[in-house]
């Protein structure tokens, strides 16, 4: 399907706080003003977050700063790829006082402030710095933004009758070269060349129950830097996908809804994502399995880290090989 590309700034919401119809579409650079979220409308349905994942040859770092009106969730998770040890610090706090989240992407710092988890995210034209501390972990990472680098922005509507009471604006930014260090129990580990950062930025109003797939990959194939961005379930039937391939920083949108084949009884078995424009295999090496149950909020996440092989074609029809790039694929069910 053909999706509308937005090329000039636009507000996500109108003066009444409803979805602005002109905001529907996708972008190569962030152009949406999302300061209307939360805005006091539909309290309890507003969701705001910043998620970063950094994959290095020896470790994986993931961090989240988020607020869902009545609750904030902040987390730092590290995997030692050699030993399999996981370090997870997650804090739930009522309301939004522990979270600083700018109205729009890049409009100011992102911060989480709790007794055990502290995170600072700051943007500049050249890079995004990620810093934080937990009782056993600290990190200081720079995710570079090469000149001309593009990211996929998408507004996904959940229609009800003639209206769109629920909608999400997401920016998925893949294949950001990473450098810096992670410190575990006082031992510093350098983040070498060949490490990659991925951003998931979200602002929107969500249904209470949502099931989604998300997958991403970053790496070098031949002499080209490849970024892979795929999604499913939550976008099905909306008229939009969050599918794209990024080659040397240039986004090519993919309008096709792909088929995702995987075994929920054996998450570590290979995943197959395919369609007219893709034949991709994802082979996991680790499952980050987590569950949260806090009264109104329950989540179940199986996020698999692994290696991609195969090919994908953008809407321009050009096939892109992804053999050997690393990333993740996940199955998430939220009641929130």
3-state helix/strand/coil string of the chain? CCCCECCCCEECECCCCCECHHHCCEECCCCEECCCCCCCCCCCCEEEEEEEEEECCCEEEEEEEEECCCEEEEEEEEEECCCCCEEEEEEEEECCCCEECCCCCCCCCEEEECCCCEEEEEECCCEEEEEEECCCEEEEEEEECCCCCCCEEEEEEEEECCEEEEEEEEEEEEEEEEEEEEEECCEEEEEEEEEEEEEEEEEEECCCEEEEEEEEEEEEECCEEEEEEEEECCCCCCCCCCEEEEECCEEEEECCCCEEECCCCCCCCCEEEEECCEEEEEEEEEEEEEEEEECCEEEEEEEEEEEEEEEEECCCCCEEECCCCEEEEEEEEEEC
Query: Which residues, at least 6 apart from 214, have a Cβ–Cβ distance to it below 8 Å?
Result: 200, 230, 231, 242, 329, 330, 332
Q: Distance from CA of residue 287 to its chain's centroid?
A: 17
Average of per-residue pLDDT across 103-131: 97
Confidence (pLDDT) at 202: 98
- Nearest CA to 212 out of 253, 151, 168 is that of 168
Q: Distance from CA of residue 313 to its chain's centroid?
A: 21
Using an 8 Å Cβ cutoff, are 139 and 117 in contact? no
- Nearest CA to 180 out of 202, 166, 196 is that of 196
Res. 174 pLDDT band, cuts 50 70 90: very high
Residue 40 has pLDDT above 60, yes or no: yes
pLDDT tens-digit profile of 255-275? 999 999 999 999 999 999 999
Res. 315 pLDDT band, cuts 50 70 90: confident
Residue 41 has pLDDT above 80, yes or no: no
Residue 82 has pLDDT above 90, yes or no: yes
CA separation for the pair 73, 90 (Å, rounded): 7
Confidence (pLDDT) at 320: 97
pLDDT tens-digit profile of 186-229? 999 999 999 999 999 999 999 999 999 999 999 999 999 999 99
CA dihedral (10, 157, 52, 47) in degrees, to 10, reads 90
Per-position b or e across 79-107, b if 16+ CB within 10 A of its CB: beeeeeeebebebebeebebbbbbbbbee
Token look-up 């991609």 returns: 308
Confidence (pLDDT) at 42: 86
Using an 8 Å Cβ cutoff, are 79 and 72 in contact? no
Confidence (pLDDT) at 75: 97
Res. 130 pLDDT band, cuts 50 70 90: very high
Confidence (pLDDT) at 209: 93
Full-prediction pTM beyond 0.95?
yes
Q: Distance from CA of residue 312 to its chain's centroid?
A: 20
Confidence (pLDDT) at 162: 81
Confidence (pLDDT) at 218: 98
Residue 70 has pLDDT above 80, yes or no: yes
Confidence (pLDDT) at 330: 98
pLDDT tens-digit profile of 228-241? 999 999 999 999 99
Confidence (pLDDT) at 269: 98
């Amino acid at each position: 399907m053909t999706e509308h590309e937005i090329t000039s700034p636009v507000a996500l919401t109108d003066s009444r706080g409803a979805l602005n119809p002109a905001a529907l579409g996708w972008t190569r650079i962030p152009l949406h003003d999302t300061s209307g979220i939360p805005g006091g409308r539909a309290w309890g349905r507003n969701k705001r977050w910043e998620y970063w994942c950094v994959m290095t040859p020896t470790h994986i770092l993931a961090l989240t700063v988020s607020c869902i009106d009545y609750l904030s969730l902040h987390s730092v998770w590290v995997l030692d790829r050699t030993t399999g040890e996981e370090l997870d610090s997650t804090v739930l706090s009522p309301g939004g006082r522990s979270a600083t989240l700018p109205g729009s992407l890049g409009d100011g710092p992102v911060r989480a402030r709790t007794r055990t988890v502290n995170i600072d995210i700051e943007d500049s034209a050249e890079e995004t710095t990620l810093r934080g501390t937990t009782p056993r972990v600290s990190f200081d990472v720079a995710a570079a933004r090469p000149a001309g680098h593009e990211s996929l922005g998408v507004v996904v509507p959940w229609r009800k009758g003639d209206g769109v009471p629920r909608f999400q604006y997401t920016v998925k930014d893949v294949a950001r070269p990473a450098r810096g260090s992670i410190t575990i129990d006082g031992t510093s580990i350098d983040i070498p060349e060949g490490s990659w950062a991925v951003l998931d930025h979200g602002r929107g109003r969500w249904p209470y129950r949502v099931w989604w797939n998300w997958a991403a990959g970053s790496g070098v194939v031949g002499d080209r830097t490849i970024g892979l961005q795929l999604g499913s379930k939550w976008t099905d039937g909306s008229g939009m996908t969050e599918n794209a391939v990024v080659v040397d920083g240039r986004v090519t949108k993919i309008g096709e809804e792909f088929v995702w084949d995987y075994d929920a009884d054996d998450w570590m078995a290979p995943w197959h994502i395919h369609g007219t424009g893709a034949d991709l295999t994802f082979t996991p090496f680790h499952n980050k399995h987590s569950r949260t149950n806090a009264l109104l909020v329950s989540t179940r996440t199986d996020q698999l880290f692994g290696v991609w092989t195969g090919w994908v074609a953008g809407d321009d029809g050009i096939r892109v090989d992804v053999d050997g790039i690393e990333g993740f694929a996940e199955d998430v069910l939220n009641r929130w």
